Amino acid sequence: MKLSAMKLSDFDFDLPEALIAVRPAQPRSSARLLVAQGDTLYDARVTDLVDWLRPGDRLVLNDTRVIPARLTGLRHRDSAQGPVAARIEATLLEPQAEGTLWSALVKPLKKLQLGEQIIFSDVLSATFEGVNEGLAYLRFNLAGDDFDAALNAAGAMPLPPYIAAKRAADAQDLTDYQTVWAKNAGAVAAPTASLHFDEALLEALRARGVTFTYVTLHVGAGTFLPVKVDDISEHKMHAEWGQVSAQASAEIAATKAAGGRIIPVGTTALRLLETAGRSGTITAWEGDTDIFITPGFRFNVADALMTNFHLPRSTLMMLVSALMGAEAIRTIYAHAIRENYRFFSYGDASLLIPPQVTP
């Protein structure tokens, strides 16, 4: 199927509302795992990864750290009736080159005037400096470590819209919506397949002979943006900053040369690897990637993928369809729905091993 022939409806499915997870499994690694090995499906648990992965396999993990990017504050203004305040919600998206300036989604944007200040806490505030293509630009009163500390105190985790619509973020999400290896702050959405790992599982995999490589891709809020065109070849992907270090690319190349499988954990890690491997072999890479992976894509780096179950009509459904084949993904998702797997960011996981990789 050529890209130009693919329609958004090709990646649609009906999901019962009850299967949308609003909390993760406890403990993390007890979540269910649907293994698709070629055309065969197996119902398992995430802890069973030690049986499905082989000595010499390498898991590639995204070490981005989610910032508590959702802020609630007040805008104060004098009126004929006296002082008035308006509640303002802001979700930070990306820092700008000037350091204290951030792009953000602000609601309600119409209640702000240029130059007005929003008070988020006793120590954290921002000035509204403008708007471009629906995004607000906020200049904060703090920078560096002071800003990070104030944001950690005042902010909440930016839960995906389908969770936020059902409940507010709370203190538990500060742990639940962060990987155990999170290191480099900058993401406003978690690499959710990685949320299934705990230290016990990592140690068991090491004992199995599985190795790990860390890369960084700062997941942006654009990951939740809907595809609005019917002909998917017309869709423009959001760009996200990522880095594959020289050490990481060398580790991956050595594993492939030795016959081991490269298995990214999450679509973010996979997109980054395939960006760095566009030439046919993996190399060190850093920059903004807007790679759009759809059926017909040639994978140069990833041999398999661990990932959660994705939203219908999303770019991530297109990505997993590119890896496994559109018909296979329809079968996998139908099985997951029939067997009551939990979906989306806090849901269960899948291990997708394309037919050509099956031993």
* Structural domain boundaries in the chain: 3-66+174-357, 70-154
Residue 98 has pLDDT above 60, yes or no: yes
Task: Report the chain's mean pLDDT, rounded to a whole number.
Answer: 93
Are the CB atoms for 105 and 93 separated by under 8 Å? yes
What are residue 91's DSSP bridge partners? 70, 105
pTM metric for this prediction: 0.91
Mean pLDDT in residue range 54-82? 94
Q: In terms of pLDDT, which residue wins out, 359 or 205?
A: 205
Higher pLDDT, 1 or 115: 115
Q: Looking at the DSSP assignment, which residues form a beta bridge with residue 140? A: 126
- Over its C-alpha atoms, the chain yields an Rg (Å, rounded) of 21
Beta-strand ranges (E) seen in the chain are 32-37, 40-45, 58-62, 64-66, 70-79, 82-95, 101-107, 117-119, 125-132, 135-140, 184-187, 211-217, 240-244, 262-264, 285-289, 305-308, 349-353
Which CATH superfamily includes the segment(s) 3-66+174-357? QueA-like (3.40.1780.10)
Contact call for residues 113 and 128 (beta carbons, < 8 A): yes
pLDDT tens-place string over residues 254-294: 999 999 999 999 999 999 999 999 999 999 999 999 999 99
Do 185 and 62 form a contact (C-beta atoms < 8 A)? no
**253/71 Cα distance (integer angstroms):** 42
Average pLDDT, stretch 325-335? 96
Residues 6+ apart with CB under 8 A from 256: 262, 282, 301
Residue 108 burial (CB < 10 Å; 0-12/13-18/19+)?
Answer: exposed
Which tens digits make up the pLDDT trace of 111-157? 899 999 999 999 999 999 999 988 999 999 999 999 999 999 999 99
**What's the confidence (pLDDT) of residue 357?**
52
Q: Residue 359: which pLDDT band, with cuts at 50, 70 and 90?
A: very low
* Mean pLDDT calculated for residue range 76-96: 90
Calculate mean pLDDT across residues 309-323: 94
pLDDT at 27: 97
- Domain 70-154 bears CATH identifier 2.40.10.240: yes
Q: Give 308's DSSP letter.
A: E
What pLDDT does residue 128 have?
Answer: 97
Residue pair 349/332 in contact by the 8 Å Cβ criterion:
no
| Statement: residue 1 has pLDDT above 70 | no
Tell me whether the CATH fold assigned to 3-66+174-357 matches the one assigned to 70-154.
no
Give, to the nearest 10 degrees, the angle between helix 315-324 and helix 267-276. 70
